[in-house]
Amino acid sequence: MRVGIDVGGTFTDLVGLGPRGLVVAKVPSTPDAPERAIWDAYERAGLADPPDALVHGTTVATNALLERKGARAALVTTAGFEDLLELRRQDRAALYDLTRHHPPPLIPRERVVGVAERMGPDGVVSPLTAGALTAAVEAVCALGPESVAVSLLFAFRHPEHEQRVAAALRAALPGVPVVASHELVPRLREYERTCTVTAEAFLRPRVGRYVARFAEDAVARGIAAPRVLASNGGALPAALAAERAVWLALSGPAGGIQGAAMVGSASGHTDLLTLDMGGTSADAGVVLGGEANVSAHGEIAGVPLAVPHIAIETVSAGGGSIGWVDSGGALRVGPESAGAVPGPACYGRGGERPTVTDAFVTLGWIEDGAVLGGSVSVARALAERAMAGLAGMVGLDVPTCALGMIRVAEAAMARALRRVSVERGLDPATLTLVAFGGAGPLSGCALADLLGVPRVLLPPHAGVLSALGMAAAADMTERSVSVHLAAGDFATRADALAAPLVAQLGADLPGASLSFVAECRYVGQGYELDVSCAAGAWNDVGEGFQEAHQRAFGHHDASALVEVVALRVIGRAAGVQERIGWPRRSMTGGTARLRIRLEEGDVDAAGYDWDTLTNGQEMEGPSVVSGRSATAFIPRGWKGTVNRVGAIVVERSDAEPR
């Protein structure tokens, strides 16, 4: 038995994956102490024995970056480069908006210390003297930091000076985390490397304490192998996760995409758009060939991070996102969320402002009295009362205002889906949309209409799919080295470059299988493409890059010189062997008649219970499918069929896309 636990903004979900099928539990989140909801869900699941492994997806790192609530950190850099975090790359926050500003650096300029030294690409330019080292350490100590980041010029290639600085700081500040860039992210690009090590120092004290508490509580309950999901979709042992806080910045959303890939593959669809609509936000991603799209570079909460992560676009369009009116009189949704406390108005917990969930309840897409998450009963009267105030402000009747809120949220989600597909050269018409999360299946078909997607997959246990992905996640980590060699020269030196990385991964994950990725580009290009390669077949890297360039951009230049910028070695433990107990039912439940509101007015709709659907069952829109963890809406012109794993495959039944 493996268990996955996903802590969301509104609910905390647990899925146990074992030989006898799935165990599911869902409880309200406890934002003041997230670990309390974890163990509430664990106890509600009623597992007979402790699981073999427990994988937790956490938003602690994500929230710390979003809210800028981390450690009081200091940064040590090469003298003369103290303004690097402020200068960034001299690009604008918004090209045509002169009033927009980048978020401030995680470490302000007054806590940046320059040390007199300099490395160049070929070695020492200015030596690091004992006096300069002592002065820098004393300056850092005078700042009273809770953590320290060290990022010196060319430390990714020549780490000797950085090693001395880090060792001196650790001796002078016992118990204070000191993060050196050559240990965490030995990669070129000074700005991104410094941002990454700065983020690690900013996050590690808070995230490390949280992970340590989680691990201690797990061990106290007899769970010998607590894990934390990393942003690349792999599980890290808790001790390793506590030392790689920046790897957890997309911990929660990564589980959802892994779960979507599992259900998609089981349903025969391996090229997917994914949309996870939770309580606070919606996350869009892509799966190609059954594998999530992983990037070594990206920006999270305005902070560039050079760590592997699943490519995800997040928008503030969750079920708890609050509707409001801007200064121009336009209806808006989010980014403010009602969260778990007080939650949407329909929960009856003191919320008074209308949310997207209240809009669904007002329209009857979520039934009056429905129990969400197994514990929260919704009241339409409370939702309508909250919606009435907003409707009066925009001069609409209550149902029209509710529909407007939903369409505004869907437009935001569609933009995120376009960014991960159209803007990366993918045609949505060739993909299947997997809509999940508690509210995602309610908007799946509408989003498909907006994007031209021909098929929507509504997975079983849609509201806890992220936790399912976590339960099934294999242990995975990686190491990298900066290369910067022509492809031919790389082939002759690759074995020597890979050897120390292989040894490090052997210590991180004993017995893990290894794969290799070369980051390549044409000489003169600014950014790279990933090229998978096999040990001993290094000569194939150049040709592999030409093929990758052709796929990505529609052309390649066989005469141009290819260079390898970095080599990554990925270690992955054996995958989960247990079979998932997908639903296998032979009895069809009854069909209810519902009255719901759409653009054309009040209409009759069929109502189904997700837990009683049988394999092969068909349903025509408009239909509402209610389940314990999620609710789905199938509009007119769409037809759903339950497949062999219990997912609803929804396709157009009319001749014309709208």
Structural domain count, the chain: 2
In a domain, 298, yes or no: no
Q: What angle do CA 33, 37, 39 make, to 5 degrees?
A: 110
pLDDT digits (tens, 9 = 90+) for 29-84: 887 788 888 998 888 888 878 888 899 988 888 878 877 889 999 999 999 999 99
In a domain, 93, yes or no: yes
> What is the chain's mean pLDDT, rounded?
88
Q: Residue 248 and residue 227: Cα distance in Å, rounded?
A: 12
SS3 646: coil
pLDDT digits (tens, 9 = 90+) for 320-354: 889 999 888 889 988 888 876 788 999 888 888 99
The CA-based diameter of the chain, rounded to the nearest angstrom, is 82
- Contact between 518 and 490 under an 8 Å Cβ cutoff? The reply is yes
In a domain, 123, yes or no: yes
Of 206, 241, 265, which residue constitutes the final position of a domain? 206
In a domain, 486, yes or no: yes
Q: Residue 341 and residue 345: Cα distance in Å, rounded?
A: 10
pLDDT digits (tens, 9 = 90+) for 559-568: 999 999 999 9
pLDDT digits (tens, 9 = 90+) for 123-156: 999 999 999 999 999 999 999 999 999 999 999 9
Question: In the structure, what pLDDT confidence band is assigned to residue 193 with cuts at 50, 70 and 90?
Answer: very high
Q: What is the pLDDT of residue 580?
A: 59
In the structure encoding, which two tokens stand for residue 649, read together?
Answer: 């495959």
In a domain, 601, yes or no: no
Whole-prediction pTM value?
A: 0.83
The 8-class DSSP code of residue 219 comes to H
**Phi and psi based region of residue 425 (left: phi greater than 0; alpha: psi -120 to 50; beta: remaining):** left
Of 553, 572, 591, which residue constitutes the final position of a domain? 572
Per-residue burial over 384-396, b = 16 or more CB atoms within 10 Å of its CB, e = otherwise: bbbbeebbeebeb
The 8-class DSSP code of residue 353 comes to S
Note down the domain range covering 520: 476-572
Residue in the structure block whose two tokens are 């490519």: 311
Q: Residue 440 and residue 448: Cα distance in Å, rounded?
A: 12
Of 188, 206, 224, which residue constitutes the final position of a domain? 206
- Contact between 10 and 612 under an 8 Å Cβ cutoff? The reply is no
In a domain, 388, yes or no: no
In a domain, 626, yes or no: no
In a domain, 370, yes or no: no
